[in-house]
Amino acid sequence: MANLVTQHEPIVIFGAGAFFIDRHVGGKPSGTERFIGDVIAGSVSATVQRQTVYSGNGAVATKLVDKITQIDRSLGLTPQDATLDNMALFLMARNPQKIAEVAEKSLATSWPVPDTVTSRDYFQFGTAKNDLVGPAKITLGNSAKLIFAPALDAEDYAFDISTGRLRLTDSGIAKAKGKTLKLTIDKVKTEEFERVEVTADLKPIRVALRYIEDADEGVEGRNIYIPRATVAPSGDATLLGRNTPQQFPLTLSIEDPGDGLAQMYIDGVPT
């Protein structure tokens, strides 16, 4: 008898590839797909809900109807590139915004110094009523001067030039506590940086996602495209840990994109 089984080389793949995220603009993919960096895990899942009806007659019920009434598809990602983009996705925040460089000028900041101040307390230079954070990095100009009111001597304080952090020593505390301390730097520039603002208003973050799989030995990689998904955090993200790197686990709930489009497209070279 002839062998009716077609000879087939098994396709076994250890997945590797790159993920790209495209935040929707106006309810549609923008067309700009950003590489999200190193990802340690990516998985796709599908779950269903069923409606089952059993017979009422007889000693043993038999299944009359078993119907799938709902299917949910999702994709899990764990990026470990600690970019502001990935942090914004994890915290369901808007895209990072550029804070422009401020050219060299005179800049002043004032702080009320409480009577309880100690040498372990810090003050942030460059803050204001509409910016409690301050600049990420400052640069002092040539021959820049730090002018304090009330006056402080060099041994009264420590100042980190790059971050703008000010700490008073015991002698400085004696001169400034209970007063308003003002620091003016006559030549200072704030560098351009990016900032993520996490606000209280909760709006869904919808994205398109593309996964380009690396070719494996003897196998062409696949290209997976999801036109519409909602991003949500999945678990915790470590900020400080001796043995755990920063990772930002995400769940993408795949939605119907409308316009006659499919929920997922999976391309592959015929084998």
pLDDT: which is higher, 40 or 6 = 40
Give kind and range of the element (H or E) at residue 157: strand 157-160
Which one, of 98, 97, 122, 95, lies nearest residue 111 by Cα?
Answer: 122
Q: How far apart are CA 242 and CA 118, in angstroms?
A: 29
Share of the chain above pLDDT 90, in %: 50
Q: What's the length of the chain?
A: 271
Q: Three-state DSSP class for 247? A: coil
Over residues 201-221, the pLDDT tens digits come to 878 899 999 999 887 776 677
pLDDT: which is higher, 59 or 112 = 112
Over residues 175-198, the pLDDT tens digits come to 999 999 999 999 888 888 888 888
* Paired tokens of 109: 């900041």
Place of tokens 């900020």: 239
Give kind and range of the element (H or E) at residue 193: strand 193-195
* Paired tokens of 229: 């998904």
Q: Is pLDDT above 80 for 117?
A: yes
pLDDT at 177: 94
- Asked whether the whole model's pTM tops 0.85, one would answer no
Residue 126: count of CB within 10 angstroms of its CB: 21
Q: Three-state DSSP class for 85? A: helix
Report domain extents, the chain. Answer: 17-48+77-93+200-267, 97-195
pLDDT at 116: 95
Over residues 233-261, the pLDDT tens digits come to 998 888 888 888 889 999 999 999 999 99
Over residues 152-181, the pLDDT tens digits come to 999 999 999 888 999 999 999 999 999 999
The CA–CA distances, whole Å, from 188 to 103, 127, 141, 158, 259 equal: 8, 14, 6, 17, 54
Report DSSP state, residue 262.
-
- Average pLDDT for the chain: 88
pLDDT at 271: 47
Q: How far apart are CA 168 and CA 226, in angstroms?
A: 55
Which one, of 97, 66, 88, lies nearest residue 194 by Cα?
Answer: 97
pLDDT at 166: 96
Q: 236 CB contacts (<8 Å, ≥6 apart)?
A: none
Q: How far apart are CA 223 and CA 226, in angstroms?
A: 10
* Paired tokens of 230: 């909602």
* Paired tokens of 112: 């009320």
